[in-house]
Amino acid sequence: MVSDTFADDIIAFLPNLRRFAISLCRSPDTADDLVQITVERAFAARHQFDPDTRLEAWLFRILRNAWIDMTRRTKTRGTQIDIEDAPDASTVDGTKVTETALMLKSAKAAIETLPEAQRDVMMLICVEEMSYKEAAEVLDTPVGTVMSRLARARLAVAKKLGINTDTARSSGSQGDS
């Protein structure tokens, strides 16, 4: 039987799918294509969905696999932003931005420029708030590997942002202001 909520659940989750897609391909247009492929695959394979698992994790998995397929096909695509082109806090032109906004912009760029494997775990766990186990399933990777990648990702991001063990606490409390 067709479950009535399947389509509604997917629609409700589209913003998250799109966000994860943007982190993968770093081009909103390509991300939208990727989301479209994902929903089409989800409907084509909906009988394979195990209702005892979370739809979100299943959809992320489809999306990531679609991305792998896409990159396999178009090795020479020109949509990826080079690391050097990523927005940098120091080059925001003349606009007055608060320190927090700058920090968040740098943080986004810092995550985007992580090695792919680290970036994916960080997006799924820190941004999309999946459990380690769910992320492991999405990425088809052992939980132990997910954890070591996630730890390395966060240490790297902390370093890029100047959060270190000495300043972590004070920067945390400043964040409230």
Q: Which of 92, 169, 176, 177 binds other proteins (CB under 8 A)?
A: 169
Nearest-angstrom CA–CA distance, 111 and 122: 8
Nearest-angstrom CA–CA distance, 94 and 74: 37
Q: Which among 119, 21, 118 has a CA at the least distance from the CA of 61?
A: 21
> What are the C-alpha distances in Å from 74 to residues 60, 78, 85, 137, 153?
21, 9, 21, 26, 27
Q: Which of residues 24-83 bind other proteins (CB under 8 A)?
A: 32, 35-37, 39-41, 43-48, 66, 69-70, 72-75
Q: Which of residues 112-141 bind other proteins (CB under 8 A)?
A: 122-123, 125-127, 129, 131-132
Is 10 among the residues that bind other proteins (CB under 8 A)? Answer: yes
Q: Which residues here bind other proteins, judged by CB under 8 A? A: 1-2, 6-7, 10-11, 14-16, 18-19, 22-23, 32, 35-37, 39-41, 43-48, 66, 69-70, 72-75, 103-105, 107-108, 111, 122-123, 125-127, 129, 131-132, 147-148, 150-151, 154-155, 157-158, 161, 163-166, 168-169, 171-172, 175
